[in-house]
């Protein structure tokens, strides 16, 4: 016999009113940049026939995922920053956790596919068109979303089967697996290791695949010093920046026992806010083709 928790209290990033107002202005600007920047990339790629290669098709999907990822957490965080009582219903908390891991894992898989695309373009240029055809790209993107759904549904089901009957205070600005399962009224040793092996291993394996692909690319470029390969290397350099911002915090947070470490809410800001902000900046400012297409779209 126990009373089930019906809502959680989010402590947010700070309890100081002045800092909350400052955070609201900063994160509102960041959210606006994510929406405008990624929407601009999607519209540009969709309207310019020259940007029809697999790289831009995958970039368009990455922009859509970034919009989804930051929309799961940012609007709620902005409202809570101006609220006195930061409460979220149990069902809303579970839903936020589900969609966050759904789009987050999908982005991990998509970044891995983008690395494979760059590896194929640089290391196997003669077979690139046949390997990365449009049907293959659609299959790969669909597999990314399916993998993200399977990952998220496992995390959500493992969380929902836990009893929550005691404390309901979450030391974070959104509902995530580590801070939520710490509140369970039972021993979570097995559950947290199952979740760590799920989220943590996915992050680690995808990151190792990415590092391996970049290693092959660097070895290939050492042998072939052509303008096209240097251009591809520039694209990969920007990709590495996104990967570092996204994967390293995820590996640090999820590939470890959740109950023995304090809250990592300030590290969460990196992959929920900064990484989606950096994507449109990196892929537009470092890509002449995208900048030219955006300028053409603006004049039109």
Whether 74 is covered by a domain: the verdict is: yes
- Cβ atoms of residues 179 and 97 within 8 Å: no
Quote the pTM value: 0.88
pLDDT confidence of 31, banded at 50, 70, 90? very high
**Is the pLDDT reported for residue 263 higher than 80?**
no
pLDDT confidence of 1, banded at 50, 70, 90? very low
- Cβ atoms of residues 8 and 180 within 8 Å: yes
Domain that holds residue 211: 7-299
Res 107: pLDDT: 92
pLDDT confidence of 143, banded at 50, 70, 90? very high
**Which of 210, 219, 270 shows the shortest CA–CA distance to 239?**
210
Residue 253: CATH number of its domain:
1.20.1070.10
pLDDT confidence of 167, banded at 50, 70, 90? confident
**Is the pLDDT reported for residue 228 higher than 60?**
no
**Which of 261, 106, 271 shows the shortest CA–CA distance to 192?**
261
3-state secondary structure 223-257: HCCCHHHHHHHHHHHHHHHHHHHHHHHHHHHHCCC
State mean pLDDT over 99-126.
89
Tell me phi and psi for residue 176, to 5 degrees: -135, 165
Mean pLDDT of the chain: 84
Whether 267 is covered by a domain: the verdict is: yes
Res 285: pLDDT: 64
Q: Is the model more confident about 135 or about 1? A: 135
Whether 1 is covered by a domain: the verdict is: no
Whether 2 is covered by a domain: the verdict is: no
The total number of structural domains in the chain stands at 1
Res 29: pLDDT: 93
Whether 134 is covered by a domain: the verdict is: yes
Whether 91 is covered by a domain: the verdict is: yes
Whether 205 is covered by a domain: the verdict is: yes
State mean pLDDT over 267-287.
78
Percent of the chain with pLDDT over 70: 89
Whether 274 is covered by a domain: the verdict is: yes
Q: How far is it, in rounded angstroms, from Cα 81 to Cα 103?
A: 24
Beta strands 7-10 and 87-89, pairing class: antiparallel
């Amino acid at each position: 016999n126990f009373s089930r928790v019906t809502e959680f209290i989010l402590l947010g990033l700070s309890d100081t009113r002045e800092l909350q107002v400052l955070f609201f202005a900063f994160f509102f600007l960041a959210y606006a940049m994510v929406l405008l920047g990624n929407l601009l990339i999607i519209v540009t790629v969709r309207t310019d026939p020259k940007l029809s290669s697999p790289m831009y098709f995958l970039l368009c999907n990455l922009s859509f995922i970034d919009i989804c990822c930051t929309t799961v957490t940012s609007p709620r965080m902005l409202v809570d920053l101006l609220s006195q009582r930061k409460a979220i219903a149990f069902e809303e908390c579970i839903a936020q956790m589900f969609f966050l891991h759904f789009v987050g894992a999908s982005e991990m898989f998509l970044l891995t596919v983008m690395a494979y695309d760059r590896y194929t373009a640089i290391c196997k240029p003669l077979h690139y068109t046949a390997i990365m055809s449009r049907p293959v790209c659609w299959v790969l993107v669909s597999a990314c979303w399916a993998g993200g759904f399977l990952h998220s549904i496992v995390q959500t089901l493992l969380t929902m089967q836990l009893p929550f009957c005691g404390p309901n205070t979450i030391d974070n600005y959104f509902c995530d697996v580590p801070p939520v399962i710490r509140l369970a009224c039972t021993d979570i040793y097995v559950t947290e290791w199952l979740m760590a092996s799920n989220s943590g291993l996915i992050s680690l394996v995808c990151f190792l695949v990415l590092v391996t692909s970049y290693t092959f690319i660097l070895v290939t470029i050492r042998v072939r010093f052509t303008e096209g390969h240097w251009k591809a290397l520039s694209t990969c350099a920007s990709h590495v920046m996104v990967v570092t911002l996204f994967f390293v915090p995820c590996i640090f947070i999820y590939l470890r026992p959740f109950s023995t470490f304090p809250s990592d809410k300030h590290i969460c800001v990196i992959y929920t806010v900064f990484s989606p902000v950096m994507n449109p900046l990196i892929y537009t400012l470092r890509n002449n083709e995208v900048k030219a297409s955006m300028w053409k779209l603006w004049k039109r």
